[in-house]
Structure 1
Amino acid sequence: MSIPENRLPAVRRILASNLPIPTILSNVTRAEPAVEVTADDLSSAPILDGNYGKISIFNHKSIPASTVGHGKLELEEVPGAGIVLPGGANIYYLEIAPGYSTSIHRTTSVDYMIFQTGEVVYLTPDEAFDPETGKGSWANRTDEWVRILCVVLDAKSPSTEIQGSNARHQMSEVWDV
């Protein structure tokens, strides 16, 4: 299948943070810091053979994050598949080409998905099997690219109760369930 060009617009990232209070104001009870505002236009980077795009917006090694002035924003390296930042938060846009779907998985993170552009269908594990790829989950069945804002928070290791006892069963991250 030929993938249509991703024509979604660039994303504007704006970051506001506090600058240090000048020494002359350090003894003023209600002194407020100046605010640093930076703005960047971010374009999509193709991933997974161009069937998807990703725009990294923000990430933080730990929460709560600092409000101290950042200057040029440097993103942390996110290990593995680039989704979960251990102990922190990873915020990015995921773009899905027409006719493609994401891998179905159970993850070690808490994921908030905000659908910005286009329409997707959520496939349950019973519906997700695709004979060509064996993958599914969020499926783009339209002729247009889809853009999803993803807020991914690291979480405690997932576990479930064992029926009839106080014991817990630990679950690992699994892809292509």
Structure 2
Amino acid sequence: MSSPEVAPNLHRVVTGHDAGGTAIVILDDDAQNARLFEGGTVSRLVWSTDRTPADIRMGTSIEDAGARRLATAPPPNGSRFAVIDFAPYSIGPMHRTETLDYVLVLSGDVEMQLDNTCISLKAGDVLVQRGTNHSWINKTDQWARVAFVLLDANPLGIGRPITGNQSPVE
């Protein structure tokens, strides 16, 4: 039995503090900032930062950092939190970013193709990726949902990394 032809919505909640310092929910919605890739794969930006430490000032009038127009790499000295729904039978392009990536497979099965090996990951698996050349593959008839936190990193000085506004799938 195959899965739906369209990726499921991604619900997000963003918390903060009101002017008095009380913890509140600032945003409670579906992540709308999505990029569609060939084959149906969808990348949704959940949140991003443009510096470390991050700006988490109090108040309800904050920028929706999930609405920013970013490519694959985070801003310099920043971070990017995205969730990607890999379509059934999809194969992403081989690429590399100058980032440290924390990856969590939320549902489904994916493979990460490296230069000379392939790693199988299933729901609940985590991966720390350190600027390696890679491609994402979903060989199943089901959607695979994977969360990515990309942190800007010092350049390795090898290959041709994706930077700035270039946009293959993470």
Code of the residue aligned with 1:156 in structure 2: it is N
Q: Where does structure 2 lack aligned partners over 5 or more consecutive residues?
A: 119-133, 163-167
Does residue 171 of the first structure (1) align with residue 140 of the second (2)? Answer: no
Q: Do the aligned residues in 2 keep the contact of 1:125 with 1:137 (CA within 8 Å)?
A: no
| TM-score calculated relative to the size of structure 1 | 0.68
Unaligned runs of 5+ in 1: 22-32, 129-135, 159-169
Aligned partners of 1:61 and 1:98: how far apart in 2?
33
- Give TM-score scaled by structure 2 length: 0.70
Q: Which residue identity does 2:100 align to in structure 1?
A: V
Partner of 1:102: 92
Counterpart in the other structure of 2:11: 12
Identity between Structure 1 and Structure 2 (%)? 24
Aligned residues: 143
* 1:89 equivalent in alignment to 2:70: no
Are 1:49 and 2:38 counterparts?
Answer: yes
Q: CA deviation at 1:117?
A: 1.3
State how far apart, in whole Å, the 2-side matches of 1:83 and 1:174 are: 10
Question: Aligned to 1:35, which of 23, 27, 46?
Answer: 23
* Rg comparison, structure with higher value: 1
Letter in structure 2 aligned against 1:141: K
The 1:146–1:42 alpha-carbon spacing in structure 2 relative to 1, beyond 3 Å, is: same
Cα shift at 1:35: 2.2
Q: 1:16 to 1:149 in 2, by over 3 A?
A: same
Contact 1:89 1:153 in 2 (8 A): yes
Q: Superposition RMSD on alpha carbons, in Å?
A: 2.8
Cα distance change on mapping 1:171 and 1:82 into 2, 3 Å: same
More contact order relative to length (CA 8 Å, sep ≥ 6):
2
